[in-house]
Structure 1
């Protein structure tokens, strides 16, 4: 437990001191406990028969940890777990208890108990007394209680909380959000099932987010708000003109006397302060004077500039002592939007510069709410590595946790944050799976006041993060007017006021729907040509494709007896017959067979999974390149549906639940480079795309083709220049590709070199023969790749692949880092490129970061289409 220490100008500091209650919890089924909370929370009450509990976490998470239920992410195990709809709510209603030490304070010091999230309602008791006099319900509320007078004089304290599930829980009947009535609560909608997940059996009941004990002096600082303004149009380089910093906070006086003091912070040597007088038992809003920050280090989205972050500490000084303090980390930046009349959609500006949005839709990190800073860091880093610059948080889940936003701040991912609505549950469409009619569902949730109270709490929780860029009323539907109007016109302007708010995710306000339909999609495998030639919505909030992992990924959740290749069903729907476990894990049953068939019928499940990666890579590279090719004339942005799964699903993911990337990630990475050279598969036009703010001069464009034997043909080598944020056509290579590849297909290598002949961009394509088959790939000879591995630091490896001259292309090589003792991949590992091809007479270096351990000996594996697997120990 932290110790209350600290000195300032020779005076004892009673500053904020906070620690989590995140271990040592016990739980018991409420129906097995006869006593009331006043008795349970007394230190004389024996917790005999109580089981260990995971807090923060859910009831189901604790049951899994206690081995009372099977892993619902494996095989058909989820079907073996009783669903709350059938058992009744009492089955998942539990008491939680925690003993902790905290001495009874003196000298005006205060102790606070804070819950950052309970699902769905609860009663709280401490040392024989009830803590929450008022009802505490709603999944997205933060609640803080002054427990100073309830603390034990001995320093030994017992906290007891009974947690009740949502009501109603909804029927998981296979619909989107089941029968829809889960949305009558202010909580997750996905827990009743969706087309990418099966139902979460306890509906995530529990103390699911952090619990804190906080110490302050007489005055408590609450919810500091920091706003940065960056006037004008800026560039990342050079000395910056001043930026404007504004700070405010609520300040609470817990005493029975008037308190006078100073609220202050120091930033870059500037002390900003204000004298404050607070009446007894009152809370006041304090606005500090503005600061003109000279030569600010600006925060930029990934790919556009650095993610500079500042830190400061807001303090309340009373009689020379710090009564309370709040640490803040923030970035100096300003978000703006304007309307592009050519595309008929909004465009996003950061620090005055247009940003072409390349985003991914995010559900939640873990369907059972097992969150960690480490997992958030890995997932957001993968999004940065895909060369994306935005994540949209889908409205059927939650306002993401501060730890998620901290990772987005570090890696430069803008965030579009939905509130808790969905067109599926909240009545946009006629749906026979729903229990209630559209007019009734349009009024969900039951308690509109709770929705607005929860929204205000979540806004205050995350509003200081530079990554937060936009608010959205809901997924594919706007909230009812008595939620929408106060949220838009009162709550957001008062509590934030700096970000764009759109009423719903595919609103005409964001992207004018001149095509018809729902304003987003499609969601299936497309001919790659369609991404280039078929115009869709100008700021598409949801468009995506497949995402099945490779064999190593599939075997993590599919039993061996179910590892079967889906069987094509020509002319039928669905067009593939898949194993029942595949179907349970949301294998789509459409698309892969038509896309894999040109590569040849799969020999077995290993071959299927390998060929699926070729499809994955091509799909997502084609998607993002097609949108990029029409930057600013057709489109201002695109958000992929979706980039991750919080469950072991088989669709819409760039990496699996276990954080193992598949080829989708690297195809997307290749197609999303800030400076990219790419080829339109329809007419063979090679195009140069510059997403950045810099003008590029003296770029060398190199275009080469290769046949299946490795014979090279230089098509052209030409200088080019690029204006900022623009697209330029270079030439068409269709004739050359048709001639070389008519019988067996061909390869195309596109490179961009700078004036020092350093490769800035390297894009490698494979094309079918004149019949649309990849016939030549099946005839390729083995490439004798030479692999060198060296350690460059703890957890850092360089892998060099060298392909000899007079060899065929070493095609589509997957690099992995394995545990020598188990042969399994070490996860998460990060590669600056993967699924790489090496042309004859050249080499390619891949840099890897992996979680080093003193107990694991890493081995690098290299395995390609025509490269036999090599395993090289890392020395």
Structure 2
């Protein structure tokens, strides 16, 4: 044998030995699995046996239907084709509602058969249910695990099932799930008749002005079910706090950060267990000897960890979102791991202070103030069909819109750890409401509600359950760097005893590093001196109003329209109902199809007509995209223009829909973006050049921590035929976190646009002559009509599409010199066989206009693993008939 072969053999032997030792020393730490397959269910009324019988492995369930877990009863019925898709047409209206059927109709048994060997030695086995809606009985192998009925959608369950595992290794879990009680009357009010809020659960399920009711009120085992193995000691509720003192810059060497770690260790055995609690970060370890008495849970605080020159976590647009991989272990004799948890740590510190200029609070991260640009989030899917992939796509869209904050609205839930994982990844600060709303919980007089305001003000019925649920959910998500704000409720505080418990006890004890807002439009957050409830408006507005009308200084809800384009509408509206709305300027009313009304269409009024009266639904939806783009660009620009003067932030109502609704969305339920997304992306750029429609000032906003110098500001107009007129070209600079006007051009623009309107091009170039902000406005004539657009010559756009790598397509759009503007082009990746759009696809930009003699490069990113063949690129524009192009 040669020396090289001998060395290879010995090296392989060493590696195998190391892996074997590692496997032994890790012990039980990685032995966890999710029960997400093999479930069956049956309606309780069809079963005469009790839980003790049903949970025995020999009880026959052959006739039961396949169940979706995690999921709801409706999800299971849909997956078994027992109901029609409630997101299509009027189908939801024909599904039996629990208010009419009674709760028994949606009360179901769920069973799962799983294999697990009989535990040996100190091995402990735990059953974890992360969420059941709403109450349940839990059985395993003929034994009842919960002594009394479990209540609460947001209260986790953990059972030590070591003593209940069958010797054969074959086991059955049976869970009887009851719906909320009361279920509420979905009478068309916000939260229906309000009774749904008597529970500690979801409120939107009884219907809202953006969704129809979920007929089973989302009854089911809606969140993950896990079986975990440990040694004698279990680790739980680890809490990591990062302190980053001082004012930090994004670049350069950092002063040290302080890491504080506490955790709970539990010993369910009959003997004292001694060991080492060990925390590892960045290759360094902090250890502490611990002795845990029998049948005891012990909170352990480890010594502070000093992290030198830390890589910091910053919100989107300000810096990187660096995450450290850390582990916490409990080691028993011979360094055997009894339990281990892996935690991603973002090193950052949150602060908040009162801005006396705006009369609102501002958020600081690592000592730097952050101008909040956010979107309101309801829930990823109205039927609770959550997935890592969908979370990633939705949060990525928010990142792409140049937002830095997501508010999780109070009529839904404390979002899942997987949501927070993705927000950590993409740099989204999270403003997390608890489960209260002004509508259902009594802020206003409401004839749709069953109970009066005094009664509703006391909701929910079980205050102790609410308080326990808050404490549990805080522990669930508190380690995420993206979590920035806790909020007592949407537009109203919880009842006083709950508020005091959360504010003065739970949060100080369990999570004292974050800002707590008592309710979403509290004067302590944003001083409301203008009357009303402090939110909105929510409808179509003149673009200039976002610049002119001073609203609440930290507006937690302000928004507009959000209609999908025609391809999107076809996904959920039957062909016979694809009838465009008819707006009457005389009566200021809109006639709409019944399906549009059912899916909560919100009117565009006369805004679409300014582009020429639509000829059909496709034309209407296409012109609506022009309105969409302008609305959300103007919203972001108007607020940014007044940052730190009028405002410390804005949060759009809303950026997504968990159902096929037709309002307040930057992308549809199927993850297809509309022009709202790209208008907002443009207007919310960290460094952005924009036109003030009030005084005609060209303004630059710098939403970064750096002074931007040697910026070439280029201002020009382009007429309908493509002729350019350079107004000015000048070097400028702008200070950090500020907005400043540079060039008043109102009169010049008014003269140019008077007859036919005009295009106004604003660009910023850096010293490398690279465009760092590109903003094109299409301005109407003196009468407010886009008359010039209506007679534009056809576009001469040239298109080249190239596959850069698997899943990445580069499209170059080129417009010849002396051609008209290639205006408002919508790019799509489509299946080469069906011509259907691929979803989701992430575009570096879209709804793109290319000036004469210019070109633009667009990157498209999609999951190529889902498709066998290379797709096509489809492009349609204002003056470019839809065409498809092969990808080279």
Taking structure 1 as the reference length, the TM-score comes to 0.98
1:675 and 2:690 are equivalent in the alignment: no
CA contact (8 A) 2:763 2:773 kept: yes
2:15 alignment counterpart: none
1:836 alignment counterpart: 848
What SS class does the counterpart of residue 488 from structure 1 fall into?
helix
1:848 alignment counterpart: 860
CA contact (8 A) 1:6 1:12 kept: no
Match of residue 839, structure 2, among 798, 805, 827: 827
CA contact (8 A) 1:8 1:321 kept: no
CA distance in 2, matches of 1:697, 1:681: 26
Deviations 1:559-607 (A, max 9, x none): 000111111133446x21100100000012x3x1310111110011111
What SS class does the counterpart of residue 593 from structure 1 fall into?
coil
1:785 and 2:800 are equivalent in the alignment: no
How far off its partner does 1:8 sit?
4.4
1:518 alignment counterpart: 533
What SS class does the counterpart of residue 161 from structure 1 fall into?
strand
Match of residue 613, structure 2, among 601, 607, 613: 601
What SS class does the counterpart of residue 7 from structure 1 fall into?
helix
CA contact (8 A) 2:411 2:490 kept: yes
CA distance in 1, matches of 2:587, 2:172: 62
CA contact (8 A) 2:322 2:346 kept: yes
How far off its partner does 1:737 sit?
1.5
- How do 1:554-593 residues align onto structure 2 when only pairs under 5 Å count? 554-572=569-587, 575-588=589-602, 590=603, 592-593=604-605
Match of residue 134, structure 1, among 148, 173, 186: 148
2:7 alignment counterpart: none
How far off its partner does 1:48 sit?
2.7
CA contact (8 A) 1:402 1:462 kept: yes
1:862 alignment counterpart: 875
CA distance in 2, matches of 1:30, 1:808: 68
Match of residue 344, structure 1, among 347, 355, 359: 359
How far off its partner does 1:856 sit?
3.5
1:262 alignment counterpart: 276
Deviations 1:45-79 (A, max 9, x none): 11131000000000000000000000000000001
CA contact (8 A) 1:547 1:652 kept: yes
CA contact (8 A) 1:821 1:857 kept: no
1:209 alignment counterpart: 223
CA contact (8 A) 1:64 1:71 kept: yes
1:499 and 2:514 are equivalent in the alignment: yes
2:727 alignment counterpart: 715
- How do 1:710-749 residues align onto structure 2 when only pairs under 5 Å count? 710-749=722-761
Match of residue 165, structure 1, among 160, 176, 179: 179
2:162 alignment counterpart: 148
2:408 alignment counterpart: 393
CA contact (8 A) 1:695 1:722 kept: yes
CA distance in 2, matches of 1:833, 1:9: 48
What SS class does the counterpart of residue 782 from structure 1 fall into?
coil
1:33 and 2:47 are equivalent in the alignment: yes
How far off its partner does 1:274 sit?
1.1
What SS class does the counterpart of residue 775 from structure 1 fall into?
coil
1:231 and 2:233 are equivalent in the alignment: no
2:114 alignment counterpart: 100
CA distance in 2, matches of 1:332, 1:39: 51
How far off its partner does 1:16 sit?
4.4
1:24 and 2:35 are equivalent in the alignment: no
2:811 alignment counterpart: 799
1:327 alignment counterpart: 342
CA distance in 1, matches of 2:724, 2:521: 47
1:364 and 2:386 are equivalent in the alignment: no
CA distance in 1, matches of 2:295, 2:832: 63
What SS class does the counterpart of residue 265 from structure 1 fall into?
strand
Q: Which stretch has the larger CA shift, 133-142 or 664-673? A: 133-142
CA contact (8 A) 1:381 1:411 kept: yes
CA distance in 2, matches of 1:834, 1:540: 28
C-alpha RMSD of matched pairs (Å): 1.0
How far off its partner does 1:733 sit?
1.7
What SS class does the counterpart of residue 809 from structure 2 fall into?
strand
User: Quick one: structure 1 residues 422 and 637, their matched pair in 2 at CA, closer, same or farther if it must change by over 3 Å?
Assistant: same
User: Quick one: structure 1 residues 19 and 712, their matched pair in 2 at CA, closer, same or farther if it must change by over 3 Å?
Assistant: same
CA contact (8 A) 2:282 2:325 kept: no
How far off its partner does 1:854 sit?
4.4
CA distance in 2, matches of 1:750, 1:286: 58
What SS class does the counterpart of residue 595 from structure 1 fall into?
coil
CA distance in 2, matches of 1:492, 1:212: 27
CA contact (8 A) 2:282 2:324 kept: no
How far off its partner does 1:736 sit?
2.0
CA distance in 1, matches of 2:788, 2:255: 58
Deviations 1:419-468 (A, max 9, x none): 00000000000000000000000000000000011001100000000000
Match of residue 235, structure 2, among 209, 221, 225: 221
- How do 1:610-621 residues align onto structure 2 when only pairs under 5 Å count? 610-621=622-633
1:816 and 2:831 are equivalent in the alignment: no
Match of residue 279, structure 1, among 266, 270, 293: 293
2:13 alignment counterpart: none
1:638 and 2:650 are equivalent in the alignment: yes
How far off its partner does 1:761 sit?
0.5
CA distance in 1, matches of 2:262, 2:520: 31
CA contact (8 A) 1:302 1:412 kept: yes
- How do 1:354-433 residues align onto structure 2 when only pairs under 5 Å count? 354-433=369-448
1:774 alignment counterpart: 786
1:466 and 2:481 are equivalent in the alignment: yes
CA distance in 1, matches of 2:632, 2:697: 19
1:444 alignment counterpart: 459
What SS class does the counterpart of residue 607 from structure 2 fall into?
helix
Deviations 1:661-709 (A, max 9, x none): 0000000000000000000112211100000001111111001101000
CA distance in 2, matches of 1:14, 1:568: 66
CA distance in 2, matches of 1:723, 1:307: 24
How far off its partner does 1:330 sit?
1.4
What SS class does the counterpart of residue 547 from structure 2 fall into?
helix
How far off its partner does 1:827 sit?
0.5
CA distance in 1, matches of 2:28, 2:611: 69
CA distance in 2, matches of 1:330, 1:823: 43
What SS class does the counterpart of residue 594 from structure 1 fall into?
coil
CA contact (8 A) 1:6 1:13 kept: no
What SS class does the counterpart of residue 740 from structure 1 fall into?
helix
Match of residue 673, structure 2, among 658, 661, 668: 661
User: Quick one: structure 1 residues 10 and 477, their matched pair in 2 at CA, closer, same or farther if it must change by over 3 Å?
Assistant: closer
How far off its partner does 1:269 sit?
2.6
Deviations 1:737-794 (A, max 9, x none): 1122111100011100001101100001000001110000010000111100111111
Deviations 1:243-279 (A, max 9, x none): 0001110100111111111111121232101111111
How far off its partner does 1:12 sit?
6.5
How far off its partner does 1:500 sit?
0.1
How far off its partner does 1:10 sit?
6.7
CA contact (8 A) 2:667 2:677 kept: yes
How far off its partner does 1:867 sit?
1.2
1:549 alignment counterpart: 564
CA distance in 1, matches of 2:605, 2:505: 52
CA contact (8 A) 2:378 2:408 kept: yes
2:198 alignment counterpart: 184
How far off its partner does 1:132 sit?
1.1
CA distance in 2, matches of 1:16, 1:860: 45
Q: Unmatched 5+ residue regions in structure 2?
A: 1-18
Match of residue 695, structure 1, among 704, 707, 721: 707
Q: Unmatched 5+ residue regions in structure 1?
A: none
